[in-house]
């Protein structure tokens, strides 16, 4: 029997740098790898999503649609994949259905092939419209299960959700483990149960982060259970809060009943490319290597650093432990939502508020929306006392319907508002950029013509930094060095040490 | 059925800092973790070996025997484990049998419980004496298979070697993957075959490095095949050229038919301890994160950096690629020895010589010894042409017997030589230190009374470095900073940048 082929989704161009380098990688640092990525034989290459879109216009002065078209042009043979937050699209609120349709249509038109559609609270009603829109374009709609651990989350529950996604037209199912919580045995159990329930031909993709150090084994167990595709990142853009290394995944299958179709020579070229790029983003780099605390706290790395900075701003940097203990309680009160954008921010901020101001003394507008149903239906029930408090403080009523049903048509207004902004080019793409990020888009449009602004060190700056590190004589790790110092117009050559 | 218990050997005190921090960790940085290590419930704690012994007297001005007794005192409940190079003991040559006996006896007397005995070329005759000596002390003798990949290395061959080790009295078998080459499937096959051949009660321990990114899965497959113990390192001392993280291994077994006996709260305390220590050794830290090239080149990380510095000394730093291509050929010519101390150094240096001076134009004394049988019998044959060249250049004859049989009794001479050195205390331990490292021991004895000298940054230095990093204004990663600079006796406060 010939070994079964496992597809690989390469993450270097989206989630890898989002997780490792604060989503800051510039397109110019990616284009050099595109030919090798295109010819490596990946099932797909993930290259677009909410955070990369945001980062493009907020930090890099890049048009995200130009980035997408660049990828399409440079990678004609590989499926381009994006992560889409269902009815949220790439923004932080629900959009009216026509905006969803237009966004998907334009994304497909600009080159997107695979749409991984997810919802933070796993409410299928928040994914339905986006899935339909994808189907209409003839592209691949992938329905997503956000994995979390809670008293109400069970294998049976995930299997049921998979069924709902399949009914909605999902051509494949993604199990998305954004917090590296998915251990090998539950991965095996969920994949097996989905296959047994809906047929072995159900295509399943598994996305794991590497943070907890267990998920390479999770991928192995998932494919043993029948998973068809896995997400990995080229080794020079892997590990820590990122993902498991692509080359290692390929190598580890040797001699087993599984194989991949990828070209190792191409992988090594991609690796060498990013090995040169990554150090120039050292200032953006995350310091996490392995973290198993997450099994207890369920707090993803990015969320923790967010909460820490919130606490510091309030002069309460010493209360992190209290907040970490509060998070699981707030998560439970919210009906056990998976912690992923935007629920991770909402739960995290409310936990900070509870510690600073007293339990639910101050409920944020977003937390009120979450427990009142405006983000959709969570799997667990929200305690009536919490609903009452949220209702009282927000002045809103709980809802049980699909949140987007409350929205009025908004496309025409968005077009009008966007077109009034200096620097817009009148395209639907610009309207969508404005719709996604109304606060940042105007500034971006106004200075778009200045062209991309990378936040990385230039090669010259990096070389200078390395040279400086090497030339500094080390005394037990604290560097002393010889400098040319100008004092009062005269230059002295002196050896200095930190005062 | 209750889950099967897997034993854990914690590596933080030996191989972890050897692999990550150039073996430089001082005893004072370990003692604070010993109580938690002792009470965590490990099967054993590896804490002594050739490189740590060497580093103690070469860099840290520490008596390695004092370190061992310190561990024994602080960890009364846990098996202490060491790595012993068979007839080489902890040195770089073969010792006459009486020295071997005396070394093992003294190690046991000072507190060692488990002796992991290995030989670089897997020649059982080089391990036999050490194994007997361990048996005599009543301690645990673990026989070791050094894993490598070559045309002559097969599952059957490893099984045969395991049998020879068992016959020699091994109470357990270690599969030692010092180069992170052991993939999941061969691990499964070897463990299963040993169990099926010699009985399920055969105790098997698996040691893997993490470098290639595949070996967490290797450990999983090994225990599925019946392995009883695994080697891991606490997460804050894990990954890269080190090992898989202990906490992750424990967590990943949840819900499976395996479990461990360790106490997670203790693990987290051990983790926190070393998380504080490791950054103070930043100057010694290896930069490798993942490396799958090793599957093709078989060159372990430490060996590569060695060869690079040899080439640079010869002004041939640009010929690394040629040397990397030469290594597998030299390894084959030497009869496919596993690359581990000392064969990695011997093969690496000869590869450098071949590239610099022409193929076997200059054969090192050590390489001649290796191909002529003075290190024992390699599994593959050495080509007759290579034997002839080695014979001609070294003036030595090939041998087929046990190398140590050529040695004359040497204990009394060693005692006499050691006792003549200033600063020796007349103990057998000092004689053994002299025997292992005759070039360094005299200097160490002479200044032993000065006490330990750590090479780490002090906590104050580390805090100063962090403060400097934070205070230095960053201009795209190149730091400018304000210093107090003394020029000609006067102190100026100036802002400086690299000239």
DSSP per-residue codes, A237-298: G-STTS--BHHHHHHHTTTSSEEE---HHHHHHHHHHHHHHGGGGGGG--------THHHH-
Which tens digits make up the pLDDT trace of A138-178? 999 999 999 999 999 999 999 999 999 999 999 999 999 99
Q: Within an 8 Å CB–CB cutoff, is residue A235 touching chain B?
A: yes
Instruction: Name A207's bridge partners.
Output: A176
pLDDT tens-digit readout, A6-24: 999 999 999 999 999 989 9
Q: Please answer yes or no on whether B478 and A499 come within 8 Å at the CB atom.
A: no
Q: A-chain residues within 8 Å CB-CB of B499?
A: 483-484
Candidate from A183, A248, A251 with C-beta closest to B255: A183
- Stretch B101-127: mean pLDDT: 98
A283 touches B: beta carbon within 8 Å: yes
Contact A477 B462 (CB under 8 A): yes
Q: Do A485 and B494 touch (CB under 8 A)?
A: yes
Q: Are A255 and B485 a contacting pair at CB < 8 A?
A: no
User: In a 3-state reduction of DSSP, which class is residue B262?
Assistant: coil
Nearest to B472 by CA among A315, A465, A306: A465
Considering only CA atoms, which of B291, B186, B209 is closest in space to residue B11?
B209
Min Cα distance A476 → chain B (Å) is 5
Q: What is the ipTM of this complex?
A: 0.89
Chain A CB contacts of B258 below 8 Å: none
Closest Cα in chain B, distance from residue A300 (Å): 16
Q: State pLDDT tens for residues B167-194.
A: 999 999 999 999 999 999 999 999 999 9
Find the closest chain A residue to B465 by CA distance: A478
Name chain A contacts of B220, Cβ cutoff 8 Å. 184, 217, 220
Residues of chain A with pLDDT under 50: 472-489, 492-499
Strands A478-487 and A490-496: antiparallel
Query: B421: which DSSP letter?
Result: S
Nearest CA in chain B to A284: B477
Distance from CA of B163 to the nearest CA of A (A): 25
* pLDDT tens digits, one per residue of A285-343: 877 788 888 888 777 766 777 778 888 888 888 898 899 899 999 999 999 999 988 89
Query: Structure tokens of A295?
Result: 């099994």
CA-wise closest residue to B253 among B3, B11, B39, B9: B3
Q: In sequence order, which residues have a C-beta less than 8 Å from that of residue A86 and are 6 or more positions away?
A: A117, A118, A119, A126, A127, A129, A130
B477 contacts A461? CB cut-off 8 A: yes
B55 touching A (Cβ < 8 Å): no
Contact A478 B492 (CB under 8 A): no
The CA distance from B198 to B190, in Å, is: 12
Strand order in the sheet with A473-475: A473-475, A478-487, A490-496
Query: For position B302, what pLDDT does the model report?
Result: 67
Contacts with B214 from chain A: Cβ below 8 Å: 216, 248-249, 251-252
CB nearest to A217's CB, from B220, B485, B487:
B220
Report the predicted TM-score, pTM, of the whole model to 2 decimal places. 0.91
Chain B residues within an 8 Å CB radius of A238: 213, 289-290
Helix (H) or strand (E) holding A354: helix A343-357
453-492 in chain A: CB under 8 A from chain B: 457-458, 461-462, 464-465, 468, 474, 476-478, 483-487, 492
A115's CB contacts (< 8 A; 6+ apart) are A81, A82, A84, A104, A107, A130, A134, A139, A140, A141, A142
At residue B281, φ and ψ (nearest 5 deg) are -105, 25
User: Nearest 5°: phi and psi at B85?
Assistant: -85, 50
Quick check: B245 contacting A, CB < 8 Å? yes
B224 to chain A, closest Cα gap in Å: 12
Q: Do B290 and A496 touch (CB under 8 A)?
A: no
Encode A95-122 in three state secondary structure: CCHHHHHHHHHHHHHCCCCEEEECCCCC
Q: Looking at chain B, which residue has its C-alpha nearest residue A281? A: B477
CB atoms B216 and A212 under 8 Å = no
Lowest mean pLDDT among A289-303, B74-88, B99-113, B372-386: A289-303
Taking the Cβ of residue B108 and every Cβ of chain A, the question of whether any pair is shorter than 8 Å is answered with: no
Task: Pick the more confident residue, B311 or A354.
Answer: A354
For chain A, the residue count is 499
CA–CA min distance B155, chain A (Å): 13
Report which of residues B64 and B474 the model is more confident about.
Answer: B64
Whether the predicted pLDDT of B299 surpasses 80: no
Q: Which residues of A touch B12 (CB under 8 A)?
A: none
Closest approach of B249 to chain A, Cα-based (Å): 7
- CA separation for the pair B343, B121 (Å, rounded): 8
Strands (E), B135-203: 140-146, 172-177
Nearest to B351 by CA among B340, B363, B339, B341: B363
Say if the Cβ atoms of B477 and A457 lie within 8 Å.
Answer: yes
- Which residues of chain B neighbour A155 with C-beta distances below 8 Å? none
| Contact across the interface for A268 and B293, Cβ inside 8 Å | yes
pLDDT at A289: 82
Residue B429, classified by CB atoms within 10 Å of its CB into exposed (0-12), middle (13-18) or buried (19+), is buried
Could you report the per-residue pLDDT of B433-465, keeping only the tens digit for each? 999 999 999 999 999 999 999 999 988 888 888
CB contact under 8 A, A468 and B498: yes
B110-121 pLDDT, tens digit per residue, is: 999 999 999 999
Measured between beta carbons, the chain A residues lying within 8 angstroms of B486 are 494
Cβ within 8 Å, pair A487-B492: yes
Chain B residue closest in CA terms to A455: B476
Question: Can you say how many angstroms the Cα of residue B396 is from the centroid of all Cα atoms in its chain?
Answer: 30
**Inter-chain CB pairs, A–B, below 8 Å:** 172
**Residues in chain A closer than 8 A to B487 (CB atoms):** 485, 487, 492, 494
- Give the span between the Cα atoms of B259 and B7, in whole angstroms: 9
Q: For residue A244, what pLDDT is reported?
A: 97
User: Are residues B477 and A487, on separate chains, in Cβ contact within 8 Å?
Assistant: no
* A319 near B CB under 8 A: no
Interface touch B290/A238, C-beta < 8 Å = yes
Please tell me whether residue B79 adopts helix, strand or coil conformation: coil
Closest chain B residue by Cα to residue A456: B476
The partner residue sitting opposite A239, judged by closest CB among B183, B217, B289, is B289
Q: Is A217 on the interface with B (CB under 8 A)?
A: yes
Task: Report the chain B residue with the minimal C-alpha distance to residue A234.
Answer: B290
The candidate with the shortest Cα–Cα distance to B203, out of B220, B191, B188, B189, is B191
Pick from B212, B254, B461: which is nearest to A477 by CB? B461
Return d(Cα A170, Cα A166) in angstroms, integer: 5
Residue-wise pLDDT tens digits, B323-374: 989 999 999 999 999 998 889 999 999 999 999 999 999 999 999 999 999 9
Determine whether the interchain pair B290/A494 forms a contact, defined as Cβ–Cβ distance below 8 Å.
no
Cβ–Cβ gap A254/B212 under 8 Å: no
Residues of A in contact with B256 (CB under 8 A): 184-185
């Amino acid at each position: 029997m010939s070994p079964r082929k496992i597809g690989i989704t390469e993450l270097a161009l989206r989630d890898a740098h989002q997780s490792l380098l604060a989503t800051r990688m510039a397109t110019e640092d990616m284009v050099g790898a595109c030919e090798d990525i295109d010819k490596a034989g990946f099932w797909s290459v993930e290259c677009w999503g909410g955070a990369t879109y945001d980062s493009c216009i907020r930090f890099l002065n890049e048009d995200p649609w130009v980035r997408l078209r660049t990828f399409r042009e440079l990678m004609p043979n590989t499926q381009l994949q994006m992560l889409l937050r269902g009815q949220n699209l790439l923004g932080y609120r629900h959009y009216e259905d026509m905006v969803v349709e237009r966004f998907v249509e334009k994304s497909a038109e600009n080159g997107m092939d695979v749409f991984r559609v997810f919802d933070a609270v796993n409410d299928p009603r928040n994914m339905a419209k986006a899935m339909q829109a994808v189907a209409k374009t003839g592209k691949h709609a992938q329905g997503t299960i956000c994995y979390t651990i809670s008293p109400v989350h069970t294998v049976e529950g995930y299997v049921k959700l998979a069924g709902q996604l399949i009914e909605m037209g999902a051509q494949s199912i993604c199990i998305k483990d954004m917090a590296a919580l998915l251990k090998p045995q539950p991965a095996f159990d969920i994949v097996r149960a989905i296959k047994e329930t809906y047929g072995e031909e159900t295509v399943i993709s598994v996305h794991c982060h590497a943070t907890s150090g267990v998920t390479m084994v999770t991928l192995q167990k998932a494919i043993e259970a029948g998973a068809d595709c896995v997400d990995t990142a080229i080794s020079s853009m892997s590990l820590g809060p990122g993902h498991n290394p692509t080359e290692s995944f390929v190598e580890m299958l040797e001699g087993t009943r599984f194989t991949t179709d990828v070209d190792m020579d191409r992988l090594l070229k991609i690796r060498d490319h990013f090995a040169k790029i990554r150090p120039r983003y050292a200032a953006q780099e995350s310091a996490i290597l392995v973290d198993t605390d997450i099994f207890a706290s369920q707090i993803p790395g990015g969320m923790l650093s967010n909460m820490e900075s919130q606490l510091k701003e309030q002069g309460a940097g010493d209360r992190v432990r209290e907040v970490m203990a509060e998070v699981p309680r707030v998560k439970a009160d919210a009906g056990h939502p998976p912690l992923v954008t935007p629920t991770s921010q909402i739960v995290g901020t409310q936990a900070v508020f509870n510690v600073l101001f007293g339990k639910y003394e101050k409920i944020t507008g977003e937390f009120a929306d979450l427990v009142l149903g405006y983000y959709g239906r969570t799997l667990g029930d929200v305690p009536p006392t919490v609903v009452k408090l949220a209702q009282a403080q927000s002045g809103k009523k709980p809802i049980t319907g699909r949140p987007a049903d409350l929205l009025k048509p908004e496309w025409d207004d968005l077009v009008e508002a966007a077109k009034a902004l200096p620097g817009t080019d009148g395209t639907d793409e610009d309207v969508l950029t404005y719709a996604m990020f109304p606060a940042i888009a105007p500034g971006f449009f106004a200075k778009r013509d200045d062209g991309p602004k990378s936040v990385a060190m230039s090669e010259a700056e990096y070389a200078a930094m390395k040279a400086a590190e090497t030339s500094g004589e080390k005394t037990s790790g604290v560097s002393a060095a010889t400098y040319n110092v100008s004092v009062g117009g005269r230059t002295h050559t002196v050896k200095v040490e930190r005062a």
